[in-house]
A and B are shown apart, each in its own frame.
Chain A
Amino acid sequence: DAKTTQPPSMDCAEGRAANLPCNHSTISGNEYVYWYRQIHSQGPQYIIHGLKNNETNEMASLIITEDRKSSTLILPHATLRDTAVYYCIVRESNSGYSTLTFGKGTMLLVSP
């Protein structure tokens, strides 16, 4: 699986949009970009994933560049409860089971 690079930490004011970047320059054509987050001492929570088109759900939007070498997770109106470590993971999707390789992620701190 391709490796990802994320900034170690970011700050965001409550109510503002949080834009979390991820670089995955070695991504291959059949690899998806997944985002999870982990609030302190809890299990990781799935947020969103995509292949090449932008995706949106009730939690966030995922913007993937045309060359697929980077992506941005957007939390449109960050709240204090969005403070967490956010993980960007690139993984091949196939019909069998799969494993996720977690890096260090980005610690997002949302402040009042």
Chain B
Amino acid sequence: ETGVTQTPRHLVMGMTNKKSLKCEQHLGHNAMYWYKQSAKKPLELMFVYNFKEQTENNSVPSRFSPECPNSSHLFLHLHTLQPEDSALYLCASQLTGGGFRTDTQYFGPGTRLTVL
């Protein structure tokens, strides 16, 4: 248990569906991240939010829409996805502000997404 939770843990959706992934951190962190891990590929950074502001969008298609209403919650809204978007979607959080002990990212368990 890392203090970062993700729901749902598994999701199956059709290409015309709209769904959302949720991430919540209970660590008092202020930066949150979305990563994508496709089969047999390294993790890829998708989005970064720092103090609720989006600071990085790693050329992610617009069918993925992130939302960060506060520092504890992060959403990934999905619409008109493709089968190749099937992957493990991981959320992470970090305390920013410097110092040796604050730079560690802690990951949630991930959401396994299957697009039919």
- Chain A residues near B (Cβ < 8 Å): 32, 34, 41-46, 49, 51, 91, 93-105
Contacts and interface: CB of A to CB of B under 8 A. Distances in A.
18 contacts: A41-B112, A42-B110, A43-B90, A43-B92, A44-B90, A44-B107, A45-B2, A46-B106, A46-B107, A49-B103, A93-B103, A95-B98, A97-B48, A97-B50, A98-B103, A99-B56, A101-B45, A104-B42
Closest 7 CB pairs of A and B: A95-B98, A43-B107, A97-B31, A102-B43, A97-B50, A102-B42, A44-B107
Interface of B: 2, 4, 6, 31, 33, 42-43, 45, 48, 50, 55-56, 88, 90, 92, 94, 96-100, 103-110, 112
Contacts of A103: 42
A32 B43 contact: no
Looking at chain A's contact residues, the main secondary structure is loop
